[in-house]
């Protein structure tokens, strides 16, 4: 069934890309790229396409996601993402960008956008941690498959190794994210004995291998952060200073407000909630965070630790309204109710 679904998505992607540009040979052999979906992703990473739209274009055209699903990882509204994709397609047609499967030597220059698309695919599938949503389960499996394939295709690419390590760390903890009643269990309360330690060992080996390249990037740092949290929880180590430093490096590379948000929470663990609130206040004017659920959850947690019950309740209310996962929503509702006890 998975193979049939994957082939159907390949065919749909090829047809849409053929509409975008007649030059794409949808039935050609793919020397050096053993999977058509991955080949089409590299085709969408053409250097003439605006960098910010390459990964979203892959998610729509190749993975088959709509603007509503694509928008959250890029901190855009569905309407804004839809407009961006429509404009990109118009520009592609008007500019006559020659879509084609790139040659093997062209792949390293295009890999960053492909990594972003694969990771966004994984995170969309990750919103169904119990595996009960067939569509999202399919997305997670596809992203895992593509992440492994990228490492095989580009064995010396450290960021591909970093992405696979990141995905492995997340997958290793999937079963621990729910208790027997199906309720959400946050990372700090998970039983490390239920994690898949074979996956974790593979992830650690990939990170060590990537480190020998002498180059550092987003996904290596993301994977290293997951590794640091595993060490902290499994070994009882207080390594928040290291976690803050990893966030510093990641923020310098990405400039992402999401990274800045996570960095603020790490600073709160290291220096206390007052310092975390100062960091959060510097991000409060960033409009991209207004509809981002973790932003309001983070504010609620910090305000609760500061004793600001009213502020925490208001932030929790917004976080609850934005959360898609019913189990996480119940977890947040319980946290809000505990403020009165």
Q: Per residue in 224-246, pLDDT tens?
A: 999 999 999 998 888 999 999 99
Query: Residues 117, 94: one domain?
Result: yes
User: pTM to 2 decimals?
Assistant: 0.88
Same domain, 116 and 127: yes
Average pLDDT over residues 178-192: 93
- The answer on 220 and 201 residing in a single domain is yes
* Poorest-pLDDT segment among 42-46, 193-197, 300-304: 42-46
DSSP-derived 3-state class of residue 157:
coil
Tell me which H or E stretch contains 40.
helix 36-44
Residues 48, 102 contacting (CB under 8 angstroms): no
Q: Are 72 and 161 found together in one domain?
A: no
pLDDT of residue 341: 63
Among candidate residues 101, 135, 151, the one where a domain is terminated? 151
Residues 169 and 216 in one domain: yes
Burial (CB < 10 A; 0-12, 13-18, 19+), residue 340, is: exposed
* Same domain, residue pair 130 and 215: no
Domain that holds residue 309: 299-341
Work out the pLDDT band at 104, boundaries 50, 70, 90: confident
Q: Are residues 102 and 246 part of one domain? A: no
54 and 167 share a domain? no
pLDDT score recorded for residue 36: 82
Q: Does 9 lie in the same domain as 89?
A: yes
Q: Check whether residue 145 and residue 282 sit in a common domain.
A: no
**Domain count for the chain:** 4
Assign residue 248 a region: left if phi > 0, alpha if psi is -120 to 50, beta otherwise? alpha
Task: Identify any residues that bridge with 184 across adjacent strands, giving them in sequence order.
Answer: 178
Q: Which two tokens stand for residue 252?
A: 């310098």
Question: Is there a single domain that holds both residue 284 and residue 322?
Answer: no
Q: Judge if 285 and 139 occupy the same domain.
A: no
Closest by alpha carbon to 261, among 277, 241, 245? 277
Per-residue pLDDT at 161 exceeds 50: yes
């Amino acid at each position: 069934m998975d193979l049939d679904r994957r082939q159907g998505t390949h065919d749909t992607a090829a047809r849409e890309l053929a509409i975008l540009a007649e030059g794409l040979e949808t039935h050609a052999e793919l020397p050096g790229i053993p999977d058509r979906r991955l080949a089409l992703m590299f085709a969408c990473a053409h250097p003439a396409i605006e960098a910010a739209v390459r990964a979203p274009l892959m998610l729509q055209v190749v993975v088959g996601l709509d603007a509503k699903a694509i928008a959250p990882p890029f901190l855009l509204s569905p309407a804004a993402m839809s407009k961006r994709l429509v404009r990109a397609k118009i520009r592609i047609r008007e500019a006559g960008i020659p879509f084609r499967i790139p040659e093997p030597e062209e792949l390293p220059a295009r890999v960053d956008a492909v990594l972003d698309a694969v990771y966004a695919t994984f995170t969309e599938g990750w919103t169904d941690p119990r595996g009960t949503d067939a569509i999202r389960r399919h997305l997670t499996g596809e992203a895992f498959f593509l992440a492994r394939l990228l490492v095989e295709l580009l064995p010396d690419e450290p960021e591909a190794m970093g992405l696979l390590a990141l995905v492995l760390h997340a997958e290793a903890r999937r079963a621990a994210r729910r208790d027997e009643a199906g309720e959400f269990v946050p990372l700090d309360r998970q039983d490390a004995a239920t994690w898949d330690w074979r996956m974790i060992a593979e992830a650690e080996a990939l990170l060590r291998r990537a480190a020998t390249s002498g180059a550092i990037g987003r996904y290596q740092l993301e994977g290293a952060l997951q590794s640091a949290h595993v060490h902290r929880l499994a070994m009882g180590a207080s390594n928040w200073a290291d976690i803050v430093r990893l966030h510093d490096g990641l923020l310098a590379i990405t400039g992402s407000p999401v990274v800045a948000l996570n960095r603020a929470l790490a600073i709160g663990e290291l220096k206390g909630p007052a310092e975390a609130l100062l960091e959060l206040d510097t991000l409060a004017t960033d409009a991209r965070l207004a509809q981002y659920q973790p932003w309001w959850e983070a504010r609620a947690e910090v305000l609760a630790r500061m004793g600001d019950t009213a502020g925490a309740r208001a932030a929790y209310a917004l976080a609850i309204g934005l959360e898609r996962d019913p189990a996480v929503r119940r977890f947040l509702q319980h946290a809000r109710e505990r403020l009165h006890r």
